[in-house]
Amino acid sequence: MARTLLMFLGSPHVDSYLNVMANAVDKCDVNKIVLIEVSNTPSGQPGDLAKLDENLRKAVIDLADGKYKGQIFNVGTGISEYQKLKQVFLKARDMRTVNYLFLREEVAELKSIYGPDAIVDVTGTPKRIAIDILAACLAIDMKYVTLFELRIPAAGISTLYHNIKNTSNYDVVVLVNEAPLLSNIEVFSARQNRLKLWVVIASILVSILLTVLYQWGGIAFGKGNWFLVGSLVFINFVGGIVPIIDAWSGKTIIPAFLRSR
């Protein structure tokens, strides 16, 4: 199945992206590449998307011709992975800018345009930005968030894709499949669910207390205990509606309220 590579950018150096793109085209049936710049990041240093795009274009053309930074290498016979990459990059690439301040909404829009099976690569992004991109993808159920990792030090032509693709010198890590990450997510979800459970338990206990007081007040004072009735209704409403809102919206109301304080 043909997929789109959503490649988030962070480094101005093209070397960070060449192996990512070559592997995606060669092994993941990628037929479209989208270069994505993130604006308004914590570093506050905007990149030059147009310049990086031009440098990548030149580097991809050179690779297809068997050249890398002025050096010549043998690309072998037949259609090389770099020729495939050149065809895709020159004919089917987009450039987009997403706002870091609205990252979840921006990633959701990318999903609607390029599909839920698009590959999101964060190899070239700073760690903090990569983590936030991963979190945004998890929130909207985009499962293919990848990281291209060399197991050996980068060494020019010897660590280009055509020299390492049939070796164990690299990994393409699908971050969502990483056991430690999944374990941490489960722990976090459990904590959130426990908080919702305590809200419900607290509302039940307070409701029981108010019911007892209501009955006692009716016996001792007769009419006029409307305050207890109103409190009982309010506590039941909060205890019931908060978990429903959390489940429907995917947001936890109480922690968000506390943070705003």
Q: Express each pLDDT in 94-107 by its tens digit.
A: 999 999 999 999 99
pLDDT > 90: percent of the chain: 51
pLDDT at 226: 58
pLDDT interval class at 144 (50, 70, 90): very high
Q: Provide the token pair at 29.
A: 């049936």
Contact assessment for residue 146 and residue 173, using Cβ atoms and an 8 Å cutoff:
yes
Question: Which pLDDT band holds residue 47 (cuts at 50, 70, 90)?
Answer: confident
pLDDT at 203: 65
Question: Which tokens in the block code for residue 139?
Answer: 């929130």
Lowest-confidence segment of 36-40, 48-52, 213-217 by average pLDDT:
213-217
Give me the mean pLDDT over the 131-150 stretch: 92
Assign 147 a pLDDT band (cuts: 50, 70, 90): very high
Confidence class for position 205, pLDDT limits 50, 70, 90: low
User: How does the average pLDDT of the chain come out, rounded?
Assistant: 80
> Stretch 203-213: mean pLDDT, rounded?
66
- Look up residue 32 and give its amino acid: K
Residue 183 contacts by C-beta under 8 Å, 6 or more apart in sequence?
none
The pTM is what? 0.71
Cα distance between residue 235 and residue 51, in whole Å: 59
pLDDT tier, 256 (very low <50, low <70, confident <90, very high otherwise) = very low
- Of 128 and 120, the structure prediction assigns the larger pLDDT to 120
Q: Is the dihedral of CA 19, 20, 21, 27 positive or negative?
A: positive
In DSSP notation, 17-62 reads HHHHHHHHHHHS-EEEEEEEEEES-TT-----HHHHHHHHHHHHHH
Helix (H, G, I), strand (E, B) or coil at 152: coil
Q: Where does the pLDDT of residue 74 fall: very low under 50, low under 70, confident under 90, or very high at 90 and above?
A: confident
pLDDT at 255: 47
| For range 6-10, the mean pLDDT | 95
Higher pLDDT residue, 113 or 248? Answer: 113
In this structure, what are the phi and psi dihedrals at residue 15, rounded to the nearest 5 degrees?
-60, -30
Return the DSSP state at 178. -
Mean pLDDT in residue range 181-187: 48
> Which residues are within 8 A (CB) of 69 and not within 5 positions of it... i.e. 6 or more apart?
156
SS3 category, 66? coil
Of the pLDDT bands very low, low, confident and very high (cuts 50, 70, 90), residue 43 is confident
